[in-house]
Structure 1
């Protein structure tokens, strides 16, 4: 059975860069009728916080990316310890003692010699007495995985055939001196134990994948299908990572971005398919094809979310917004009419409040000096409310007859006087909603 996972670290809130991995893995599982696991990679005890775990779940629920089960790495520490012991016995996990300063000097020396800065395995053959001496000096050992120095190859679902020479990669650190199990190791153990069959993540994980393939093989697991999606840049191709704090999903939600808009954009961004609004994840899943995505960096512009949000909101039936409209104080007998009139003149649902403010309390009239006398004459001809569907046509006909004005010169000053806006819904539809007309005097 197809099993995928989304494995964020609860050390911060989800941002737009995380969403692609979450979506792609979700869609693969749902299309196949499989299992989608939310796995919280929370082995970093200092930085992992419950508020971030809760925030991750809220964001995914907002988007409808529901999971079949939740796993937490912090609940699996005994399992990692047992697997680490097995790797020590087999000679694939070895203890090292170099300090960050010593490693940095080694890297610089290799670079100056024109060689790749790969760890030299100096700690691999340390005798026990030397390890004891280093510990007596106050050093703490940490653990590296011994890579087989051969080519690591896989058929990537997006990038195509990948081949990496393991000799060009440093033996990865799997366990820190303080005992913290690092992502590369814990993730590999989890993927094996949880039967993960497909993994989609960012192209910045390609080297991780190469090393994890050997770790998975060393612990006797079967290899999943890997795919690495392109990384996002800003609209001008600039690095996006520095702006991710302003592109958190919770901030986009708070600003009024519609979940369907975000999902529709991210499901097609970087693919050969056009971006089109889809109103459900089922629709998005039908058209999702991993092979349609390219490897080149993908430009993301948050402004692209607003036309989609506008379209989504305009498609909503009244039943979907009934409670929101009622909360604005719109009378029940006007609520559906109000939605029909206002919905085509908003981008965010929060914009509804501004229109009801205009209709219910009256707008500050906007009257150009050259139109002042005309508006005063017209307002004298405006009948007393309540207004009907026929009021606008009857009133403007009377004003035209009395003043001789017509066309834009007739209609625009009256619209601005009644609504304070140069643009908006058809005035024939607006008139029955007007509770107060300030321009009367």
Structure 2
């Protein structure tokens, strides 16, 4: 069982999408279930509608899941398990005030030591709970620190130990009764029977705490880990949501298509048998263990190149639908511009001027008006050379006074692919084009 567990607190990050793709692919290869869990416990940071947006994105990338849930649905289970740990004396009630904890942190800083919980409330058990609730005294639940190092086996980081004092007696239930991230995540993974967790190395420090939680709850099933190296921006720093290219939504807005984005994210830090592929092809050879163990840099120019190739390979009629047509010839027309364009937006900026009213003002105004009249009254001519000869004869124009206005009236631009290639694809729309 594998899972993808995004938070609805912002736009889906490309790193998170990469995690989703890898979880899906490995689940598919292992014939295991793949579930989506929306981690929505942080009510203050949740953004309305982001959960739906995340699911829509997964659908665009053809990442089917066996089930989807919101973490908040398990709130009662989280609370029940936390109380169980308290009753078993594996957790304790903590009434330390923020001021006391701040003073402890300040003292640790002054002594130049790492802050650890000082154990002030360790002896407060379940018997204290009812009294505190009656007195309305704020409290949290803390798990007791482990007595031995926590050993983690990770596909990329290898085996490493975390000392008990590094895990510490951390909070598992907040004063408002909601679980902390580590507790909720560990409980949900345990409930769902997650056997392999693929996630960013940002979560590496969470793993020992979550392992400790599951151990104290008596969970015996082995969980394997693969913490993916982070993605860097062009400056070599960790790519964040503040980086435009870090947002999947932004990439869509720029005209990148799902097949190309998935292709690039699978390619990133990987040795693949070919550069251009779709996910079903990658399923045949993808091997998580061959990924680079070092951080990888996001190269928008390489993504542009990959996007261009996917647009080139797209079915002509399907490509035309991106510009409001259902005509294979318009798809072929768009592909003529792929030498100078690499995204849907850039293609749109080439295609739209062909089918919008032309600007008859400026240097070539008179010549364009002349050509417009000739084209509107001309018979249907299939061959471009015959069409050109007809306009030449009827207009009396020649040289630049002929070719530049002709290109402008047919394409709305002074430069572009050969008109002899464009004309056969737009001739059914000629009266609309030349106006």
TM-score band (shorter)? 0.7 to 0.9
Give the secondary-structure state (helix, strand or coil) at the position aligned to 1:286.
Answer: coil
Deviation per CA, 1:267-322, whole angstroms, max 9, x where unpaired? Answer: 1223344882323x212322322112233332224444332222212211134246
User: Counterpart of 2:261?
Assistant: 262
User: Counterpart of 1:341?
Assistant: 333
Taking structure 2 as the reference length, the TM-score comes to: 0.83
Task: Report the Cα distance in structure 1 between the residues aligned to 2:432 and 2:129, rounded to whole angstroms.
Answer: 87
User: Deviation of residue 18 (structure 1)?
Assistant: 1.6
User: Counterpart of 1:309?
Assistant: 307
2:160 matched to 1:162? Answer: yes
Give the secondary-structure state (helix, strand or coil) at the position aligned to 2:204.
Answer: helix
Task: Report the Cα distance in structure 2 between the residues aligned to 1:256 and 1:28, rounded to whole angstroms.
Answer: 28
Q: Pick closer, same or farther for the CA change 1:319–1:160 going to 2, 3 Å.
A: same
User: Counterpart of 2:384?
Assistant: 391
Deviation per CA, 1:72-114, whole angstroms, max 9, x where unpaired? Answer: 2222222222222321122211111223332233223223323
Task: Report the Cα distance in structure 2 between the residues aligned to 1:78 and 1:130, rounded to whole angstroms.
Answer: 21
User: Counterpart of 2:85?
Assistant: 87
Report if aligned partners of 1:150, 1:167 keep a CA contact under 8 Å in 2: no
User: Counterpart of 2:192?
Assistant: 194
Task: Report the Cα distance in structure 2 between the residues aligned to 1:56 and 1:96, rounded to whole angstroms.
Answer: 37
Report if aligned partners of 1:116, 1:168 keep a CA contact under 8 Å in 2: no
Taking structure 1 as the reference length, the TM-score comes to: 0.82
Report if aligned partners of 1:306, 1:347 keep a CA contact under 8 Å in 2: yes
Task: Report the Cα distance in structure 1 between the residues aligned to 2:91 and 2:244, rounded to whole angstroms.
Answer: 37
User: Counterpart of 2:14?
Assistant: 16
Compare 253-262 and 294-303 and name the one that shifted more.
294-303
> RMSD between aligned alpha carbons?
3.8
- Which segments of 5 or more consecutive residues in structure 2 lack a partner in the other structure? none
Report if aligned partners of 1:141, 1:177 keep a CA contact under 8 Å in 2: yes
Q: Pick closer, same or farther for the CA change 1:256–1:421 going to 2, 3 Å.
A: same
User: Deviation of residue 41 (structure 1)?
Assistant: 1.8
User: Deviation of residue 212 (structure 1)?
Assistant: 1.0
Task: Report the Cα distance in structure 1 between the residues aligned to 2:206 and 2:433, rounded to whole angstroms.
Answer: 66
Q: Pick closer, same or farther for the CA change 1:204–1:352 going to 2, 3 Å.
A: closer
2:191 matched to 1:177? Answer: no
Q: Pick closer, same or farther for the CA change 1:172–1:356 going to 2, 3 Å.
A: same
Task: Report the Cα distance in structure 1 between the residues aligned to 2:292 and 2:284, rounded to whole angstroms.
Answer: 19
Q: How does 1:10-89 map to 2 (within 5 A)?
A: 10-48=8-46, 51-89=49-87
User: Deviation of residue 258 (structure 1)?
Assistant: 0.1
Give the secondary-structure state (helix, strand or coil) at the position aligned to 2:190.
Answer: helix
User: Counterpart of 2:249?
Assistant: 250
Task: Report the Cα distance in structure 2 between the residues aligned to 1:31 and 1:87, rounded to whole angstroms.
Answer: 37
- Which segments of 5 or more consecutive residues in structure 1 lack a partner in the other structure? none
Task: Report the Cα distance in structure 2 between the residues aligned to 1:127 and 1:85, rounded to whole angstroms.
Answer: 10
Q: Pick closer, same or farther for the CA change 1:13–1:358 going to 2, 3 Å.
A: closer
Task: Report the Cα distance in structure 1 between the residues aligned to 2:132 and 2:78, rounded to whole angstroms.
Answer: 26
Report if aligned partners of 2:254, 2:345 keep a CA contact under 8 Å in 1: no
Task: Report the Cα distance in structure 2 between the residues aligned to 1:275 and 1:139, rounded to whole angstroms.
Answer: 63
